[in-house]
């Protein structure tokens, strides 16, 4: 089934100039880039985007990191986009990610793991509407 999903290239990867390499991996794995933009996340957007983590002990670190630099937001499409992208990005803990996945290649820590990928159709719709509100 053709789906759309959201990928965020996080500040640690953008600071290290890995945007092109990550997008090349994405396209080489059959994804079509439907929308793309570079932006900075403010506190309000971070709070809304990561609402399920508000109040957790790691939230302030996550929010601060996501507000620390440029982010690339990308809407991607392909068959089974959500599952296929999650496979390509790898485990949240980059040290546990399969070799060759985006996080194994570009992750620096549990928080600074290079990318975010939507985990479900509901999340993808909500996250896309937050990052691309005119959609």
Residue 55 domain boundaries: 2-131
User: Consecutive 10-residue runs of the chain (135 residues): their mean pLDDT?
Assistant: 96 98 98 98 97 92 97 98 98 95 96 97 98 85
CATH number at residue 21: 3.30.70.141
pTM: 0.96
What pLDDT, on the 0 to 100 scale, is given for residue 1? 80
DSSP letter string, the chain:
-EEEEEEEE-HHHHHTT-HHHHHHHHHHTT-EEEEEEEEE--HHHHHHHTGGGTTSTTHHHHHHHHTSSEEEEEEEEEETHHHHHHHHH--SSTTTSPTTSHHHHH--SSS--SEEE--SHHHHHHHHHHHSTT-
What pLDDT, on the 0 to 100 scale, is given for residue 127? 98
Domain count, the chain: 1
Q: Which of 10, 18, 103, 116 is catalytic?
A: 116
Whether 53 sits among the annotated catalytic residues: the reply is no
């Amino acid at each position: 089934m053709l789906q759309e999903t959201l990928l965020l290239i996080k500040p640690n990867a953008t600071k290290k100039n890995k945007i092109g390499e990550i997008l090349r991996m994405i396209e080489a794995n059959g994804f079509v880039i439907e929308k793309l933009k570079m932006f900075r996340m403010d506190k309000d957007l971070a709070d809304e985007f990561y609402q399920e983590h508000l109040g957790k002990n790691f939230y302030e670190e996550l929010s601060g990191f996501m507000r620390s630099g440029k982010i690339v937001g990308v809407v991607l499409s392909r068959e089974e986009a959500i599952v296929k992208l999650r496979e390509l990005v790898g485990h949240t803990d980059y040290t546990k990610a399969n070799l060759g996945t985006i996080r194994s290649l570009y992750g620096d820590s549990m928080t600074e793991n290079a990318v975010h990928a939507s985990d479900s159709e509901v999340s993808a719709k909500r996250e896309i509407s937050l990052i691309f509100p005119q959609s």
